[in-house]
Each structure stands twice: as C-alpha cells, then as structure tokens.
Amino acid sequence: MILPFSKMHGLGNDYVYVNCLEQKIEHPNELSKFISHRHFGIGSDGLVLICPSDRADFQMRMFNADGSEGNMCGNAIRCVGKYVYDHQLTQKTQLDIDTKSGIKHLDLTIENKKAVFASVDMGKADFNSKHIPVKTPYPEFISQPMLVHGEVYLITCVSMGNPHGVIFCNDVDHIALEEIGPLFENHEKFPDRINTEFVQVIDKKTLKMRVWERGSGETFACGTGACASVAAAVINGYCNADEEVTVHLKGGDLKITYQKDQTVIMKGPATHVFDGVIEVDV
C-alpha cells in the first residue's frame, strides 16, 4: 500500500500523521512500529491517525513507537488542529477533538493562513490513585517515597487522561534517564505503565522538565507531562494555581496554567516538517 503522510512535531515530539477520513488503516499498531523506526522507517515518536467522529469535529488516535495505543498526547493534538486547518478540512479555528481520554477543545492561532499555535483545554488533572492507576492503599499518591535502583524518590502521580509520575529534583540535566526511565515505566506499582517526569523548579513560574514516555523512551517534549508537572508543582506548593507557568523542555517551551478547579490549559506551537508517501506492507 502506498500511504501518504505528514511529518509534524510539537517542540520536537514528532509523529507521523495519516488522514483516515477517507481511508482505513487495518493494523495501526504494526504500522506505528514500522514507520517510527529511525533507521528503517520514517522516524518518529509514533503514529497519529486523524479520523471522523460522530461526537466532535475530528477524532485523534495516537500510537507509541512500540505500537501501543495511547490515550492522549498534548503535542500531537496541537498538530492535529494544524493539520485539519492547513489542509482545509475545516475553516474553524475552535475545534473539538475526540480522544481516548475524552473530547478536548482547541483554539488555533492563525498566521499567513496557517495554524501555528494552539491553546488546549486539557481537562482536569486527576490525583485519584485508582484512576491513574497506582497500586497503593492511599487515595492519592502525592510526594510518596519509592525505591528504584537502590535510591528513594519522592513521586507525585497524576492522570491527564494518561498516567504520570512527577519527581522533583535539583538538576534534571544529570539524571540518568535512559537507565532509570524504564524502571519507573515498568514498575509493579503501575499496572498500565507510566510516563515519568523529572522536574527542576527554577522559580514559582518556571519549571525545567525531562520526560521518559511509556512506549517511546525519552522525548523532546510531552504536553500531558508538562500539564502533570505543573499540577504536581501546585499541589506540592512550588507553583500557584491560576498562574501561567513556563515549562522548559528539550524541544522548547510550553505555557501551562493549572486552575483552582483542577482544569489545565496548555499553550504551545505546532510545526509541519514535510509531506511524503511510503510503501507499507503491514
């Protein structure tokens, strides 16, 4: 099959985007593994399918580089908004996108007839241990000690439609993420695995973050992870509710606001890299 695609990224968190409004992908899990390979495929953090929805403007399905389907991706959903606007699939600048973690509302910023930026209502941060999920007797898992690789880490767990564990540290640049990331991701406390954020507090309105994403490893940016980090920072007293926080990631900055009602607003860019076609047999 000859498959048209677009390569796009949000702050370096790159995915291959396929228009599924008029075609069907039979085996998206296998396709994601194939195209994500950075030597034998296109090279990406995963695959995003843009599909029709009977309850929103469009549906987003996202698959990690290991073929597992994710519930939500904050960087990818901004790129979905850019894709449908730039490809003239809609003229709307306010969109509802259907995801596995619910319908998310996007507000697009247009420059020179192209969408370049998006504000996304990411829904409410959920600290309920059962919803994340975390195997624990505590109703919430906030700043709780975990022994990993012989070291005790204080971790705060939160769901942004997908599971996150946030660890505050003094120096994110020297975390051995390739070594300890998989140990958190596959820890027995997390039956659905977990995305792990290591966060350095610069000041009340600035965080620096590195992320190990389940199914993809370290990525340049994680939108839901940035949201989870700010939510955890507010809960732990490092930042204030209702104040915009800049999160520095390897690929650039996101602006995150954790509101007093636990709703999280994310603002960031969406970038088109190139279009192409690839022959696939999956």
Residues annotated as catalytic are 73, 222
DSSP output for 105-139: EEEEEEETTEEEEEEEEEEE-B-BTTTTT--SSSS
CA gap 33, 54 in Å, rounded: 28
First-to-final CA distance of the chain: 9
CA gap 50, 63 in Å, rounded: 12
Kindly report the CA angle at 103 between 97 and 108, in degrees rounded to 5? 40
Residues 6 or more apart in contact with residue 219 via CB below 8 angstroms: 12, 13, 45, 211, 213, 250
Kindly report the CA angle at 167 between 148 and 185, in degrees rounded to 5? 50
182 three-state secondary structure: helix
69, amino acid identity: E
Token couple for 115? 């969408």
Q: Are residues 262 and 124 in contact, defined by beta-carbon separation less than 8 angstroms? A: yes
CA gap 122, 75 in Å, rounded: 11
191-194 contacts at long range (C-beta below 8 A, 24 or more positions apart): 191/133, 191/135, 192/133, 192/163, 193/163, 194/132, 194/157, 194/163, 194/164, 194/165
Q: Are residues 194 and 162 in contact, defined by beta-carbon separation less than 8 angstroms? A: no
Q: What element of type H or E holds 64?
A: strand 58-64
